[in-house]
Amino acid sequence: MAISAPRILIGAPASGGGKTTFTCGLLHALVRRGKATAACKCGPDYIDPMFHSEVIGAQSRNLDLFFSGEEQVRRLVADSAAVNDVIVIEGVMGYYDGIAVSDEASAWHVACATDTPAVLVIDGRGRARSIAAEVAGFARFREGSRVAGVVLNRVSPMLYPRLKELVEAETGVRVYGHLPVLEDCSLESRHLGLVTASEVADLREKLDKLASVMEETVDIDGLLELAATAPDLDSPAWHEEEPVPCARAPRIAVAHDDAFCFYYADALRLLEDLGAELVRFSPLADAALPEGVSGLYLGGGYPELHVRELSENASMRASIACAIESGMPTVAECGGFMYLHEQLEGDDGTTLPQVGAISGTSYKTPKLGRFGYIDITAQQDGLLADAGESLPAHEFHYWDSDNPGSAFSAKKPQSSRSWECAFSTPSLYAGYPHLYLPGRPAAARRFVEACAHWDAAR
């Protein structure tokens, strides 16, 4: 059955060109118009979807062609279309930038896989006719580029009409408007990209101003008309997994506060589809794990910015250490893994005690380490995978560990580079790699099954 799914993809020639700011402004403008709007993000990023979700009041989802195949990505888009008027997909990096130096899993690849028209946000600072050369290059670089329009960012209102006429005459690509320089609407940077939505002062006021400016300077009606040209999707929507058979739903404690906030929305949904009840808690503020839980999920985030508060919450540290020691099934990714160490160095250089389930220290390094997609292959049977089984994953961190684990072998795609990583036992996965559970539903099922068995054995 074909599903109507008006949609556009917002891309850019490179990171830092303003596509997240433009995407959030467009989302807010559409919501203010009363449009039921879905948001998606290409790639493995956690932070941009947080901004999307803050704007639209619903979970944004990731569309990642390394983590999952084209059919699953189409299913996710179809699922978003089921209850929304329009879908806005934000690209990743440069439009054609994918794995290594290929275009695989790029924003362009997503546009092709989902048959979505793309609009590029072009930075107009410091040039004029050269903008047309860039637009022409991106539109013609691939046959079937999907580039259907551009928006000019950081250009003056006085110059814009001439630039629009120039670009359209030279390239045949439609210009859908512009954004002037809006310093007070920018989203600040941090070592992992943007700050999270909850940390941006006056975010709602910034979004209101941005959307109001865009109503004046961007052809939003034209963008909606472009979105409506996207063909219907013939993919079925989200496939719900069969719940794990158990006497009662296992309750999984999910760390969620300013220190731990990196989760894929569809991974949490998958755990729920499998029959788990997710219970949020705060390692920063709560005294102990929630009552009656039989599993623990410690996602990534910024524990290094809260090292003192985490350390001073001794009762929570003891509660988590006791749960892991007792065999409670636990998944800890990146920031969650750092928190499980005996010691964690904070962003200010202070090193303080943490949970202690992993011996050693997680410490700050001067540069980004082991960045990008990886496949991790289990070297022994464990909670999420048996020996020889692989999981798609992603790493992006400035911190490292003097005890990173060796239960998995990590290998970068399209590369010979590999290394050992992570801890794995029948009840624990803990390591720097972030996992995308919908890409390997069997791993999520093993986690929920382990939680159910632990609950039944208590």
Q: Give the model's pLDDT for residue 199.
A: 56
The C-alpha atoms of residue 456 and residue 240 are separated, in whole angstroms, by 24
- The rounded Cα 434 to chain-centroid distance in angstroms is 10
Two structure tokens written together for 48: 């941009």
The C-alpha atoms of residue 442 and residue 430 are separated, in whole angstroms, by 18
Q: Into how many domains does the chain fold? A: 2
Q: Which domain holds residue 181?
A: 7-228
Residue 277 lies in a domain: yes
Phi, psi angle pair for 159, to nearest 5°: -85, -25
Cβ atoms 424, 416 nearer than 8 A: no
Tell me the average pLDDT of the chain. Answer: 92
We report the CATH number of the domain holding residue 361 as 3.40.50.880
Q: 259 and 214: one domain?
A: no
Residue 29 lies in a domain: yes
- Of 111, 95, 94, 114, nearest to 146 (Cα)? 111
Please indicate whether residue 421 is annotated as part of the active site: no
Give the list of residues 6+ apart from residue 404 with CB closer than 8 angstroms, or none. Answer: 420, 421, 422, 431, 432
Pairing assessment for the beta strands 428-431 and 423-425 based on DSSP bridges: antiparallel
The C-alpha atoms of residue 61 and residue 245 are separated, in whole angstroms, by 28
Residue 377 lies in a domain: yes
Neighbours of 442 (CB within 10 A): 14
Q: Give the model's pLDDT for residue 17.
A: 85
- Mean pLDDT in residue range 318-324: 98
Q: 26 and 88: one domain?
A: yes
Q: 420 and 291: one domain?
A: yes
Neighbours of 136 (CB within 10 A): 16
Q: 313 and 450: one domain?
A: yes
Q: 269 and 220: one domain?
A: no
Whether this prediction's pTM lies above 0.85 is answered by yes
Q: What would the pLDDT profile of 381-401 be if each residue is shown by its tens digit?
A: 999 999 999 999 999 878 999
3-state secondary structure of 99: coil
- Mean pLDDT in residue range 179-202: 59
- Of 257, 302, 305, nearest to 284 (Cα)? 257
Q: From the candidates 42, 334, 421, 451, which is the catalytic residue?
A: 334
Q: 34 and 117: one domain?
A: yes
Neighbours of 232 (CB within 10 A): 14
We report the CATH number of the domain holding residue 111 as 3.40.50.300
Q: If pLDDT is split at 50, 70 and 90, which confidence band does 201 have?
A: low
Residue 234 lies in a domain: no
Residue 139 lies in a domain: yes
